[in-house]
Amino acid sequence: MVNEFVEEYVYKGIKANAVYEGKYLLGTAYARPLIAKKLVEVAHKEGAKYIAHGCTGKGNDQVRIETAIASLDPFIKIIAPWRIWDISSREDAIDYAEAKGIDLNGITKKRIYSRDQNILHISHEGGMLENPANEPDFDELLMMTNTVEKAPDKAEYVDIEFKEGIPVKLNGEKLNGEDMLKALNKVGGTHGIGVIDLLENRLVGMKSRGIYETPGGTLLIEAHKYLESFVLEKEAAHFKETISSKYAELVYNAMWFSGLKDAFDAFIDITQKNVTGTVKLKLYKGTIKFAGMTSKYALYNESISSFSTGDLYDQKDATGFIHLYSLPYKIQALNEMNNSKNGSTEVVYTFKE
């Protein structure tokens, strides 16, 4: 199931460069449709008519799981205890657990963080983070990632190879999705990569604050973006940026099984046919620096881009291009001059080449 999660869910987002509100790499949002899929499979196997989940009544996950279940089997009914019982807060839940003698593994009302963890990320919410005036205690919070202060003083380089947008090799070693992300989590976490403090707009209408650790995913998406800049033509690259933002919203907003997301996936797959090559990244104390890349599909041509004269690009050709490119702005300027001088829209000035 872990490898399926990476290769069938996370990697789709990597190909899309999906980042919600400029920061969040959707670690929780990818997991919920897969969880729902497995729940429905078990329900069908057991002949069950109901599925219960433990999502709170204020979070996104209740919407994600129930929408996914409805998409896969609209006849299954949902039981959501958080929306039924009298327990209305984490503090109430702790009181209940203590009264019943349930071991909470060190969770107390003073250490009441809500955490969600999978191979892609760990999220931390609740407790002192609910007050946006509080600075996070990263030494206490972080579980996957070193703080910048504890990261090594020496930089490290990684080579990530992609084939049609999919990561396939790390430092020359072929890896499946699960092993790739585990290895990148280790190296990225060591160097303090991928920690964000996000005040996000939830699907259910409120704002919430969370600390997210996504070391391996951050390395993958940054490397993928660099490679796309190397191999995609201008218009495809610019249009895909708009798709990337909308794709992230669809995933965040519980629309994994929607027709629109399927259409986006089809478009994205076409853009990825030449996203093949190797990207070198330099990791140092929470930062990622581009350190080189190669691809047989590169659209960058040094002989053309260089300021030196080349055969394929004659600098004299720029004169005609600039004339045509600037023509609308010349016409606009002439109209403004005419209107200012004559108080009318009649064209007085003309120009000849």
> Mean pLDDT throughout 119-146?
94
Residues 197 and 319 in one domain: no
**Highest mean pLDDT, choosing among 28-37, 100-109, 112-121, 198-207:** 28-37
Residues 135 and 252 in one domain: yes
pLDDT score of 329:
87
pLDDT score of 309:
56
Do 248 and 19 touch, CB atoms closer than 8 A?
A: yes
pLDDT band at residue 63 under the 50/70/90 scheme: very high
Residues 292 and 309 in one domain: no
Residues 127 and 179 in one domain: yes
Residues 173 and 272 in one domain: yes
59 Cβ partners below 8 Å, 6+ apart? 202, 204
Rounded CA-CA distance 173/132 in Å is: 43
pLDDT per residue over 225-254, tens digit each? 999 999 999 999 999 999 999 999 999 999
Count of structural domains within the chain? 2
pLDDT score of 9:
99
Do 69 and 39 touch, CB atoms closer than 8 A?
A: yes
Q: How do 122-125 and 207-213 pair as beta strands? A: antiparallel
pLDDT score of 307:
54
pLDDT band at residue 215 under the 50/70/90 scheme: very high
> Mean pLDDT throughout 116-138?
94
For residue 289 the two structure tokens come to 């620096």
> Mean pLDDT throughout 159-171?
99
- Does residue 255 have a pLDDT over 60? yes
Q: How do 50-52 and 77-79 pair as beta strands? A: parallel
Q: What domain range is 262 assigned to?
A: 2-23+107-300
For residue 95 the two structure tokens come to 């009181």
Rounded CA-CA distance 157/220 in Å is: 14
133 Cβ partners below 8 Å, 6+ apart? none
Residues 316 and 285 in one domain: no
DSSP string, 117-174: E-SS-EEEESGGGGSTTSPP-HHHH-SSS--GGGS-SS-EEEEEEEETTEEEEETTEE
pLDDT score of 298:
95
pLDDT score of 179:
99
Q: Does residue 44 sit within a domain?
A: no
**Mean pLDDT across the chain:** 92
DSSP string, 257-307: TSHHHHHHHHHHHHHGGG--EEEEEEEETTEEEEEEEE-TT----HHHHSS
